[in-house]
Structure 1
Amino acid sequence: MYYGFDIGGTKIEFGAFDTTLTRVATERLPTPLKDYERFVEVIVGQVEKYDQILGCLGHVGLGLPGTERVDDGTLLTANIPSVNGRRLRQDLEQRLKRPVRLENDANCFILSEAWDDSLRDCPSVMGLILGTGFGGGLVYRGEIFSGRNHVAGEVGHMRIPIDAWFWLGDNPPLFQCGCGQQGCLESYISGRGFEGLYCHRYGVSKPAVEIIGDFHTGDPTASDFVDFFIELLAICLGNLFTAHDPHTVVLGGGLSNFEQLYQDLPQRIRRYLLPIAQCPEIRRAKYGATGGVRGAAFLNLQR
């Protein structure tokens, strides 16, 4: 059995999967945000509980919004203070007497998609999350590529490219990012960036869902903004695709549900690629909110 934990700032989702990758158990628990020992006990308790129920010693994988420092194994995560700076993986391995795999939640998301039957044989899959923030992950021949410092795929913290900066106009906003830098892609092409750019451009604050709703009703301001934003997104993705040249790109997060992206992006992105390059296939995530727990479980299935 393969156990996956999708760990967020409010809940921990557990899933158990058999060798056919079919989910056979699920459970949700609140995330202990302040007590590290309690956090460890929750994970250990779930593993031991389902070992007994399923009659096996399951393989354990965790996905969470953070990164394990490669040199000392401590975690860097802003959303789960109880585990920040802790050697969570080593402590769990000591308690459970088995290996534990741990990855960034964006990497788990794209591993889940890449292990779908339709993409299993795809040489390279890039996952991009257009949610509150903007991030991603890279899977090459069925395996996550994390890089030397476990930050490969953290494309949200690349700076906005010069042609995108020009596209922002004569008075471009220099947004502050949560990482402490300015001008990160996350601040412009995420859901938060979508709303911030609309406010900067028109002087009105609106949630993304309302702007998109206005677009669907033919509102001229929303139509103008969507045209502007998709071009900005095409410029930024064109730069990413030139660097990584993925075969397939899977979009997740709230903005990924906006159908207009899939209609417009492939044609627009071509203008920002090398003349010999074709735009990769761009598809919507298949597994949605369940992708994180699937990917965490599949960490132990990488080829």
Structure 2
Amino acid sequence: MDYTMGIDIGGTKILFAAVDKNGNILEKDIVPTPTLDSKQIINIIERYISLYVGKYKIIGIGMGVPGISDVEKGIAIYAGNVPSLRNLNLVKLFYDKFKIPVYIDNDVRVATLGEKWYGAGRDCETMICITLGTGIGSGIILKGKLWRGANYCAGEIGTLKLKDSGLTSNWGITGSLEAISSGPAIGTIYEKIKNNVPVEGKVNTKIPASIVFEDAKAGNTKALKVIEDAGRYLGIAIAGYVNLINPQMVIIGGGLADAGDMIFKPLLESYNKYALCEPKKICKIVRAELGNYAGAIGAATMVRHYLNKNVFWI
């Protein structure tokens, strides 16, 4: 039996999976994302490709990459929270090494495909999938197909500017959604508030949001306020998205979604306040079903669609 390999490159971790034709994972691995240079990342990916190719009949490799990529040329144009990959031709690099077809797309878009094909969006023709983690991104399904945009930039909801002040994201945008509600932003804001210093400057990606959630669970009012604000601004952004796209469903995944009601309660309150009545009637806000491996499953399954010449995008 043949299999495809999915690789999901994130700001904090890289996930690998060998996937069968039905979206089932045979083997999976997860490793921290090196931050120093691209060679370390490439070496890790090559090691796991070699491992999987040695154990399974791998007919193709799909990769989810942060930020903006030229899907046709296989180049990571702007790799978001993994800046060392910027302008690398990942398709050529790994094809030349392994002589196996390689395809790339944005990491959130491949997670969106995973949820569309095998997860919460199986029965949806029009949907949005948003992931909350080191960054914040989204994927859009219109009439059953992936919308990439005119030059593969669609879905960068994290760049949406919501405030005139505050932290500045890795995109260089002050007061953006990603500078308010991403994991590193939550950690950075909390640290600054605790130390009584202005909430400004760059987001510090080394401060984990998990500390803030632990303190919030213990009743720390400052931590609770930071998380409440993060959820509230997420709800505002999602309401605008729903008003614009009119989807049947918004799927929310990523590590921060695991925080549950702490972030979903303020999110839903502001969403219900700002979403228009008519689009809100039809739109469900749901949790992702595939967990951390949605991107790897989507990337691996994307390979089969390419090889079978199934047009899954518009």
Q: TM-score, normalised by structure 2?
A: 0.74
Out of 105, 108, 112, which is 1:106 matched to?
A: 108
Distance 1:101 1:151 in 2: 17
CA 1:238–1:95 in structure 2 vs 1: closer, same or farther (change >3 Å)?
same
Is the contact between residue 5 and residue 58 of structure 2 (CA under 8 Å) also seen in structure 1?
no
Is the contact between residue 262 and residue 282 of structure 1 (CA under 8 Å) also seen in structure 2?
no
CA 1:256–1:46 in structure 2 vs 1: closer, same or farther (change >3 Å)?
closer
Are positions 1:183 and 2:175 aligned together? Answer: yes
Out of 284, 289, 298, which is 1:281 matched to?
A: 284
Q: Which residue of 1 aligns with 2:293?
A: 290
Q: Which moved more, 1:34-43 or 1:77-86?
A: 34-43
Q: Which moved more, 1:114-123 or 1:20-29?
A: 20-29
Alignment-mate amino acid for residue 288 of structure 2: A
Out of 21, 27, 31, which is 1:25 matched to?
A: 27
Distance 1:112 1:177 in 2: 27
Distance 1:216 1:37 in 2: 37
CA deviation map 1:108-132 (0-9, x unaligned) = 2222222225421211232222223
Q: Which residue of 1 aligns with 2:200?
A: none
Is the contact between residue 257 and residue 284 of structure 1 (CA under 8 Å) also seen in structure 2?
no
Distance 1:214 1:36 in 2: 37
Q: Which residue of 2 aligns with 1:251?
A: 252
Alpha-carbon offset, residue 107 of structure 1: 1.6
Distance 2:86 2:62 in 1: 18
Q: Which moved more, 1:98-107 or 1:214-223?
A: 214-223
Is the contact between residue 137 and residue 157 of structure 2 (CA under 8 Å) also seen in structure 1?
yes
Alignment-mate amino acid for residue 185 of structure 2: G
Q: Which residue of 1 aligns with 2:234?
A: 233
Is the contact between residue 40 and residue 92 of structure 1 (CA under 8 Å) also seen in structure 2?
no
Out of 12, 15, 18, which is 1:16 matched to?
A: 18
Alpha-carbon offset, residue 5 of structure 1: 1.8
Is the contact between residue 251 and residue 283 of structure 1 (CA under 8 Å) also seen in structure 2?
yes
Q: Which residue of 2 aligns with 1:6?
A: 8
Secondary structure of 1:153's counterpart equals coil
Alpha-carbon offset, residue 155 of structure 1: 1.0
Alignment-mate amino acid for residue 234 of structure 1: G
Secondary structure of 1:183's counterpart equals coil
Q: Which residue of 1 aligns with 2:210?
A: 209
Which consecutive residues of structure 2, in runs of 5 or more, have no partner in the other structure? 198-206, 306-311
Q: Which residue of 1 aligns with 2:70?
A: 69
CA 1:79–1:221 in structure 2 vs 1: closer, same or farther (change >3 Å)?
closer
CA 1:123–1:301 in structure 2 vs 1: closer, same or farther (change >3 Å)?
farther
CA 1:95–1:4 in structure 2 vs 1: closer, same or farther (change >3 Å)?
same
Are positions 1:300 and 2:303 aligned together? Answer: yes
Distance 1:36 1:131 in 2: 24
Secondary structure of 2:285's counterpart equals strand
CA deviation map 1:227-276 (0-9, x unaligned) = 44433332222122222222222222332122223344334312212242
Distance 2:235 2:176 in 1: 16
Alignment-mate amino acid for residue 159 of structure 1: K
CA deviation map 1:158-202 (0-9, x unaligned) = 221xxxx4xxxxxx6332222223232211122233344446667
Q: Which moved more, 1:185-194 or 1:1-10?
A: 1-10
Q: TM-score, normalised by structure 1?
A: 0.77
Alpha-carbon offset, residue 34 of structure 1: 4.7
Alpha-carbon offset, residue 145 of structure 1: 2.0
**Percent identity among equivalent residues?**
28
Kindly tell me the number of residue pairs found equivalent between the two proteins: 291
CA deviation map 1:69-100 (0-9, x unaligned) = 36855322266566432322134445555542
Secondary structure of 2:150's counterpart equals coil
Alignment-mate amino acid for residue 84 of structure 1: R
Distance 1:263 1:40 in 2: 42
Distance 1:197 1:40 in 2: 34
CA 1:58–1:47 in structure 2 vs 1: closer, same or farther (change >3 Å)?
farther
Alignment-mate amino acid for residue 174 of structure 1: G
Which consecutive residues of structure 1, in runs of 5 or more, have no partner in the other structure? 166-171
Out of 148, 152, 155, which is 1:146 matched to?
A: 148
